[in-house]
Amino acid sequence: MSAASWSIPAIPRAVPPARGGPHAPGEAFLVPARPRCRAAPARRLRLGRGAGAGGVVVARAGAHADVPVAGSGEAAVVFSDKFPLRRCKTVEGKAWVRVDAEPDGDGKCKVVIGCDLEGKWVLHWGVSYDGETGREWDQPPEEIRPPGSVPIKDSAIETPLEISHSSEGCVLHEVEIKFDKDTPIAVINFVLKEEGTGAWFQHKGGDFRIPLSGSLKDKDSSGAKQGDKLEGSNAQPKETVPEDKGPNRKCISQFYGEYPILKSEYVENSVSVTVTENSETNKSRVEFDTDITGDVIIHWGVCKGNTMTWEIPPEPHPPKTKIFRQKALQTLLEQKTDGSGNTISFLLNADYSGLVFILKLNEDTWLRNLENNFDFYIPLTRVDQIGSTQEPRKADEHKLDDKSSQTDGLISDIRNLVVGLSSRRGQRTKNKVLQEDILQEIERLAAEAYSIFRSPTIEIAEDSVYIDDPESVKPACSGTGSGFEILCQGFNWESHKSGKWYVELGTKAKELASLGFTIVWSPPPTDSVSPEGYMPRDLYNLNCRYGTMEELKQLVNIFHQNGMKVLGDAVLNHRCAQFQNQNGVWNIFGGRINWDDRAVVADDPHFQGRGNKSSGDNFHAAPNIDHSQDFVRKDLKEWLCWMRKEVGYDGWRLDFVRGFWGGYVKDYMEATEPYFAVGEYWDSLSYTYGEMDYNQDAHRQRIVDWINATNGTAGAFDVTTKGILHMALERSEYWRLSDEKGKPPGVLGWWPSRAVTFIENHDTGSTQGHWRFPYGMEMQGYAYILTHPGTPAVFYDHIFSHLQQDIARLISVRRRLKIQCRSKIKILKAEQNLYAAQIDETVTMKIGSGHFEPSGPINWTVAVEGHDYKIWEAPS
């Protein structure tokens, strides 16, 4: 590792979100969003515990004093209460890494990782092996895992640090990892996590990397080259090991390094508010008093009646008051003469019903009501007076439609869960598991209510062959095209290298159309950190390695002239930042969509996001975008609509949709109304002891669940079918191509109109070859997907190869016999070396080396045949 490059950054400060957002880990009591009056001039307070008339969160009932008889001239105390406050302060400590290169009595070398700050510390770690060039982690082998280690998904484990004491009596937290000197492990990767606050501690926004051998092929996260030693400002290497000279030589060095670590802790304060009313002057006096020293600002507004609309009261305003964006006032409190805090009092007209405020300490710290985590609401008149001003509602205002009535119970359940969770916020002893369960239940109920209110219900008969669209219930945007689409992937992993791919692809448009393709999938168009386009940066910059924006528009126009639709490859799950935050973490975005870290999910340790937890799996190479944020969805919808209009895209291929909830995709699809849309939901199939399971229902269920979450507005690549085809063809186990009910075992067997079938793409094939289709058996794969329901996709490399004419013949049969995404299928044979099926009573096909000839009254004729595949058609 490079010298003096190791440090652990400070916890990110709590910057109030510009457009709404949750707390960052460890900032549970700071403001999770800017005050409501900033966002809109007429926004209502949320209903919470202690809600008064009109759904207002009223301070605790015990705060109200007796009110003298009206007209007596005395000042009547309308409200008085003291609210607890909690704010962050930063404490500094140190973390350390020690490598003991000399084996101990058990013949083991040792890595010790620790820190000296109070807390419940956990090591989140994984390993990389000799010869690996990427940044992905692997789980460490069982024999080196310390006691108490817990697996996290399939790439890391978490190990608690144990408490010990130094010779000076200080509390230390350490964990030891023991390993053999000849271990194949090249690097230990880790970050530290403090469980109490949920805060992550990293190395310059990335992973800590401890090299255990000299066989690394790439640079580490700090830029160190192969053979560099771990060093920091206090590093003390005790031994120099020569560079690796052979395949079995290790470069493990004795090493010790210390690194500063900053941790947020909370300071308890309070603010008291008293409201008095004088009937003679028709004025209310509001007094604020807090024990917080230094500059304190109240960000406030008033409201009338039950509308809860933020207003700015007319002048005169209190001294040192500024108008904030014509939405609110900001008043600097006066410091007490004894230096014990700040105070202020001012008069308001008695015709206001309430005052809403948040305390601002600086641009980065805003304090809210701890009891309910909402803005502070202070009644300026008695609650019974507020209630008496309500007009009786008309009878028809109480009527609810059918969908609303279905959600009544769900809303009640959610509210009860929120109250239960809120009541536990202040408890010193927290049951984390219980609170996580409550949060998960809230999410589940909210999703259910959303589904009931926003989505049509598709009822499927239990014995139905397909989960598909009943004619009476169609989504607003199906994204399936005409149903007769044949998709061509118009690039491979190397296409960017020419710099003129749009121009080159345009020259092939006429040929692709003549082959029978109806849609072309074009590569990612945006400015990107990676030349292939899958690490997007400035979304509105469409000049990329494939060509310029003008060349892209010309490409789309050329395909349109040849009667083909064009899909844009939209990467919505993650985005690379242009700027670093104060801790050196790349999570600040530039360009027209200039988000900050509130647009990044909170539970990815690599990028210090302050959004909500991810609604899917994290993509670890770039900041994962938090689609639960309203401002994120608004910006992405505007961007997608802009590309539809400016570029002329007809639909979307959506990258890594496993990373975020399909319900957000539904919003994007309904906003852009694509002709065709398909998502890449790719995860591992089911295996037992290294053998692929026959039953892959769990795998295809996950894909179907995602499609269902989109309300059917997008399809998905049928990864299940590809995986089963691999095994069936490689091992001559064609019986795998029929499930237990005699139906196709992939997504096309359950929801064919949303299944986009394929055998290869730029990831699985091309020069990457992550999951290459069995060599020499490609035409069997195409014979399957081009005769079956679903929407088939053909890979660019196969089209422009020796396979082209064979593929063209299959496409011709599909088009001539009108096979479409909802075609009906009857499996005739599924044996060791043979699979045969009949489609729509017009096509019979077989793949495999086994003999098969169709029988029955139909006079079948051979349409296409090749090595181990054959297609017959019925007379027209």
Tokens (6 digits) for 487: 């998709």
The three-state secondary structure class of 666 is helix
Query: What whole-number distance in Å separates Cα of residue 750 and Cα of residue 704?
Result: 8
Residues 570-607, buried b or exposed e (16+ Cβ, 10 A)? bbbbbbbbeeebebebbbbbeeebebbbbbbbbebbbb
Determine which one of 626, 680, 733, 873 is catalytic.
Answer: 680
Q: What backbone phi and psi angles, to 5 degrees, belong to 404?
A: -60, -40
Place of tokens 């700090």: 222
Q: Is 511 a catalytic residue?
A: no
Query: What whole-number distance in Å separates Cα of residue 89 and Cα of residue 414?
Result: 33
Q: Is the backbone of residue 479 left (phi > 0), alpha (psi -120 to 50) or beta?
A: left
3-state secondary structure 723-737: HHHHHHHHCCCHHHH
Residues 196-233, buried b or exposed e (16+ Cβ, 10 A)? ebbbbbbbbbbbbbbbbbbbbeeebbbebebbbbbbbe
The amino acid at residue 178 is K
Long-range interactions of 523-530: CB distance < 8 A, separation 24+? 523/490, 523/491, 523/495, 523/496, 523/569, 524/569, 524/570, 524/571, 524/655, 525/549, 525/552, 525/568, 525/569, 525/643, 525/647, 526/571, 528/576, 529/576, 529/622
Tokens (6 digits) for 162: 């144990």
Query: What whole-number distance in Å separates Cα of residue 324 and Cα of residue 571?
Result: 37
746, with CB counted inside 10 A (0-12, 13-18, 19+), is: buried
Give the DSSP per-residue string, 601-636: -TT-TTTT--SPPPSS---TTSPBB-TTSHHHHHHH
Query: What whole-number distance in Å separates Cα of residue 20 and Cα of residue 43?
Result: 13
Query: What whole-number distance in Å separates Cα of residue 627 and Cα of residue 601?
Result: 9
330, with CB counted inside 10 A (0-12, 13-18, 19+), is: middle
| Closest among 821, 807, 865 to 512, alpha carbons compared | 807
Query: What whole-number distance in Å separates Cα of residue 591 and Cα of residue 578?
Result: 9
Determine which one of 655, 733, 778, 797 is catalytic.
Answer: 655
Tokens (6 digits) for 394: 């008309």
Query: What whole-number distance in Å separates Cα of residue 330 and Cα of residue 321?
Result: 5
List Cβ neighbours of 100 (8 Å cut-off, separation of 6 or more): 109, 110, 111, 112, 254
Q: Report in angstroms the alpha-carbon separations of 531 from 543, 588, 620.
A: 11, 21, 18
Query: What whole-number distance in Å separates Cα of residue 572 and Cα of residue 808?
Result: 34
Q: DSSP label at 398? A: G
316: cis peptide before it, omega within 30°?
A: yes
Place of tokens 């439609």: 401
Q: What backbone phi and psi angles, to 5 degrees, belong to 87?
A: -135, 165
Query: What whole-number distance in Å separates Cα of residue 81 and Cα of residue 50?
Result: 14
Cα 336–Cα 341–Cα 345 angle in degrees, nearest 5: 60
How far, in whole angstroms, is CA 40 from its chain's centroid? 27
| Closest among 238, 144, 236, 126 to 182, alpha carbons compared | 144
Q: Is 27 a catalytic residue?
A: no
CB of 679 closer than 8 Å to CB of 658? no
Question: Which residues belong to the active site?
Answer: 655, 680
